[in-house]
Every structure is written in structure tokens, then in C-alpha cells.
Chain A
Amino acid sequence: MEKTKKYNVEGALLTIPLRYDEKSGKYMEVYPDFINNPVYTPEGHQIILTLEDACAFGEQKDTAEPLVDCGSCRFYRQAPNTLIGVCGHEKKQKI
């Protein structure tokens, strides 16, 4: 049976498959394509990976760091212990 990990990200229930990596001896999360198959929280915010390229609505979280990905954007809220998070920008919210 496939090993998975379950997350509740701001109300969105996600089941992420795991893959065993022999080189590091760790289970790795294998993320689905959240861009082409978007998933939203009940509030309508999009689930997104921290390393997605920054979009036109993005704004720097920290002035010392350039805005390169969602992880460096002030609208992004990362869930703990995973690379998944939520885009909090209202223009990207599904109404």
C-alpha cells in the first residue's frame, strides 16, 4: 500500500504520497501539480508550493531578500513541516 501523509491546510484536506529515497534514507513527499490542478481552501485561497515562481501580484516579505518565489512573498502562508502553503492574495482568491 502506498505510504501517504495527510495535511489539513487552512481547512483543505490533502493526502500527499511519499516515496522512499534510498540515498538519503528518508521518505520524501511527492507533491501534485497544484498549478494545473488547483486546490483551494474553503475560504477560496489557493494551495501552492513554497518554491513556485513569484507572480505579478507578489510583494517581498523581507526587504533584504529578493522576491523570487512564493516563499519570499508576504502573502504566502507556509504550513509547518512541509513545502505546501497558501496564497493569501485576494486577487488570486476563488470566489
Chain B
Amino acid sequence: MEYITVRNAAKKWNISERLVQKYCAAGRIEGAKKFGSSWVIPAGAVKPKDPRKDQKHPAVRREKRQPVSYPGLMPLMNTAFEPGKCTEFIHDMADGPQKQIALAEYYYFSGQPEKAVHETELFLTGADRDIQLSAYLIYAYANLSVGKIQRARYALTAVREMLATSTENQSEMRAALSFISLAAAVLLHLPLPEGLPPMQEFLPMLPMGIRMFALYVNAHYTYLQKDYQKSLGIVEATLGMQTEEYPIPSIYLHLVAVMDYMSLKQIDKARQHLLAAWELARPDDLIEGFGEHHGLLGGMLEAVIKPEYPEDFKRIIAITYRFSAGWRRIHNPDTGHDVADNLTTTEFAASMLAARGWTNKEISSHMNISVNTVKYHITNAMQKLNIGSRQDLKKYMLL
């Protein structure tokens, strides 16, 4: 058999000598033999094919997943209105169910749950699925605040059943349904519902404001897993990517950042996020989220809002009492985690920090109260909970 050198083969095939050596070493040239430190190649050998060109199915771009238009899905949450212009925006909407849902959202997010319940009741059995889903979510949470637990449970169960029975044919609506199911479960600290698809499957199909709120829910869920840095990453990325300010999701995203930073004991950063949330919320009185998250904000409302806005603080605390009483009536029996329900908000805030290992001195400095007042609140909490050790506070807190 006649052989040629690597150099000749390279010339013949118009490739580098190095590549020819590589083909030989990989056994891709039939009959090639090692000769000293190089190779000899049969004169009749055929140039190996480029495996990349040999692919029968060239790489295809994945189908682009476009956001689906859900005009009735939480329209206020999904709007980048200017802070202070919330009611004006709703007023300018065309009359119809979408406007009524936006109004119900406004009532809910501004701490008027009775009105929110009233506005949504009519739409629980409506034909428009996005309107109906919005109605269920608002109705469930608003009923927690007014103490109608059976009604809240009814709405939460309805959403779960809709998710469980939805089919692939309803894939567009499935993204909305998945979002509502996720929000309903995570914010009550309940296990994720069965049949919930991975978030990356439905997130891109949600419109921007809803997608941001879904990411808030995801950050909240990650916070509950105690992965505070990851949760912060979700918040910062979501806030950083918005091209317009969506006040409702932004308020909630800032609040979860406060929770994360307080858990990491980075108080100045927590304060910055609380003030950012407050700046967005105050012009439209969207204070519900502050009351809902009170226990997780680690005394930050007492430290920042109470001294400067005492009247708003009182209203927020009233929301906390109403909402948390209902929240515990679903959360505690459903999870078996007995979150304390007979503490004042100050006792709860001080005890949360104590359970996280803060000293009395640190709590006093953070909450702007004396060390003796801190001890007074914590001893009250411990007596109410019938515990003799500060370590045992953990069992009754939101940690």
C-alpha cells in the first residue's frame, strides 16, 4: 500500500497538519499508522467529514414563547401607572368587568377588604377565565382579612381544582392559572399545589406586571427556604429589568428584600428597600402589603414608619391584626406549624428578632425602644406562649 505523510495529506485536504494528526490519533482515518512521532496515511484515504456538518437536523431555535394577553388578569397589578395616579387610571378605564377587577384590586391593596370582597363576588362564576381567576385570588385574601375563613377556603380550593383539571388544550390559560395557584399557596406558606408546572414554563407567557409579581412570589418562596441571597438575586434582577415602574409588584418585591436583608442582619439595606416600597405605596395608600408582611419585616415598620408616619403605622398595624388572624386560621391547621396568634404586633416583632438570635440591646437599638421595654415585650410573649426559654420562641415565629 502506498502511504503519504501528514504534510501531504494536509495539503491534499486543505486542512492543517495539526488537524490531520488529530484525526489520526482519533482513529478517524482508516489505515493510518503511527510512524515515529508522526503518522503515515494511505494515499487513497478519504478526508474525514466534519461531524458538525454531518448533522441531519441542524440546530433549530426554540419556539419563542410570547406573553399571552390576559386583559382581565389582575389589571391593576399589571399596569405601570404613575404613583399617585392609581384611582385616576381606574377611573379612565372602560366600564366593564376589567375595570371592576381593577377597582377590587385597589380596594384590596389599600386595606379595604370588605369592598374588595363585594366587587369580586359577582365574578366568581363568570365566563371570562382571567377575570374569574383574579376574582378568586382577591376574594380569597380579602376574606382572610374580614375573618370569613370558609369563603377564603372555598376560593383557594376552587383554584386548586381548576389547576388539577386543566388540560393541555388550555395551555394559554394554564400560565395564568399556574400563577394564581402559586400565589395562593406560597403567600399562605402552604405546600405547592399538585400539578403546578415549573415556573420557567409559564413565566415567559405572563405579561410584564404579572410576571414581576410571580417573581415576587418566587422570591418569597425562596426566602421561606432560607436562601436569602438567592431571594435577593431574584428581587434585584426583577427590579433591575423593568423598563417602567409597576408599583404593585415593585412594592411587594421591595418588601421581600427587606425580609431578606433583615434575615442577613443588613439593616441599612433593609431600610432602603422599605423606604423604596413606602415611596411607591404612600401616594395611592397601597398599604396592605406592609400589614401583611409585618411579622417578616423584623420590626422595620416600628423602626422606620412609626416615628414619621404614626397614623399610617396605626392603620398598617390594624391590617396586620385582621389579616394575620385569618392567615393563621388557614396556615396553622394546614401546616401544623403553630404560629403565635395571641401576641401584640410589638411582642411579635421583638420575639421574631429574639428568636433569630438578636440580643435585647440590638433589638432595642433597632426598634427605638429601651432595653427594659424589649424585655417587657419578650417576657409577655414567653408567658403567653407558655415557654421558659428564648430558644423555644422559634417554634412559634415565622422563621
User: B375 at the A/B interface (Cβ < 8 Å)?
Assistant: yes
When the two chains form their complex, are residues B344 and A23 in contact, meaning their CB atoms are under 8 A apart? yes
A21–B375 touching, CB < 8 Å: no
Q: Are A66 and B357 in contact (CB under 8 A)?
A: yes
Q: In the complex, which of the residues A28, A53, A71 contacts B359, with contact meaning CB atoms closer than 8 Å?
A: A53
Q: Are B354 and A83 in contact (CB under 8 A)?
A: no
A72 touches B390 (CB 8 A): yes
* Those 3 A-B pairs whose CB atoms lie nearest each other, nearest first: A53-B359, A24-B342, A71-B389
Q: Which of chain A's residues 37-57 have a Cβ closer than 8 Å to chain B? A: 49-54
> Is the CB of B379 closer than 8 A to any CB of chain A?
yes
Q: Are A53 and B360 in contact (CB under 8 A)?
A: yes
Task: Write 16 A-B pairs (CB below 8 A) sorted by A numbering.
Answer: A21-B384, A28-B383, A33-B372, A49-B375, A50-B388, A50-B389, A51-B382, A52-B360, A66-B357, A68-B359, A68-B390, A71-B388, A71-B390, A71-B391, A83-B379, A83-B388
A29 CB–B CB distance under 8 Å: yes
Q: How far is the CA of A26 from the CA of B386 in the complex (A)?
A: 11
Contact at B375–A65, with CB atoms within 8 Å?
no
Within 8 A of B (CB), among A9-49: 21, 23-24, 26, 28-31, 33, 49
Interface centre among A28, A33, A51, A68 (most CB of B within 10 A): A51
Q: Given A28-B380, A71-B389, A72-B391, A51 and B360 touching (CB < 8 A)?
A: yes
B382 contacts across to A, CB distance below 8 A: 51, 83
> CA–CA, A78 to B391, complex, Å?
14
Interface residue range, chain B: 20 to 34
Shortest Cβ gap from B339 to chain A (Å): 15
- Known contacts A21-B380, A24-B384, A26-B383; is-contact A50 B390 (Cβ 8 Å): yes
Which chain A positions have C-beta within 8 A of B388? 50, 71, 78, 83
Nearest CB of chain A from residue B304's CB, rounded to whole Å: 24
A31 touches B344 (CB 8 A): no
- Whether the pair B379, A51 counts as a contact (CB closer than 8 A) is yes
Q: State in angstroms the CA–CA spacing of A47 and B137 once bound together.
A: 53
| Binary contact track A53-70/B, C-beta < 8 Å → 1, others 0 | 110000000000110110
Q: Mask for B361-399, Cβ within 8 A of A = 1, else 0? A: 100000000001001101110111000111100000000
**A29 and B383 contact, CB distance less than 8 A:** yes
Q: Given contacts A69-B359, A72-B390, A83-B388, could you give 8 more A-B pairs where the C-beta distance is less than 8 Å?
A: A24-B342, A24-B384, A26-B383, A28-B379, A28-B384, A49-B379, A51-B360, A52-B360
Question: A interface, by DSSP: helix, strand, loop or mixed?
Answer: loop
Question: How far apart sit A51 and B360, CA to CA, in the bound complex (Å)?
Answer: 8
- A82 nearest in chain B by CB position: B388
B289 CB, min distance to chain A CBs, angstroms: 25
Contact A65 B380 (CB under 8 A): no
Q: Which of B289-307 contact A (CB under 8 A)?
A: none
Which chain B residue shows the least CB distance to A70?
A: B390
- CB of A78 to closest CB in B, whole Å: 6
Please name the residue on chain B nearest to A69 by beta carbon.
B390
Q: How far is the CA of A54 from the CA of B359 in the complex (A)?
A: 8
A19 and B179 alpha carbons, distance in the complex (Å): 48
Complex: chain A residue closest to B372, CB-CB: A33
Q: Are B354 and A51 in contact, with the CB atoms below 8 A?
A: yes
Our pick among B344, B361, B375, B384 for the contact of A51 (Cβ within 8 Å) is B375
Nearest-neighbour CB distance to chain B for A51, whole angstroms, equals 5
Q: Give Cα distance in the complex from A17 to B158, angstroms.
A: 52
Docked Cα-Cα span, A28 to B378, in Å, equals 12
Return chain B residues, CB-CB under 8 Å to A28.
379-380, 383-384
A71 to B342, CA, bound (A): 23
Known contacts A26-B383, A83-B379; A51/B372 CB under 8 A: no
Q: Which of chain A's residues have a CB closer than 8 A to the CB of B389?
A: 50, 71-72
Q: Which residues of B contact A52 (CB under 8 A)?
A: 360, 375
Q: Tell me the minimal C-beta distance from A29 to chain B in angstroms.
A: 6
Q: How far is the CA of A43 from the CA of B389 in the complex (A)?
A: 25
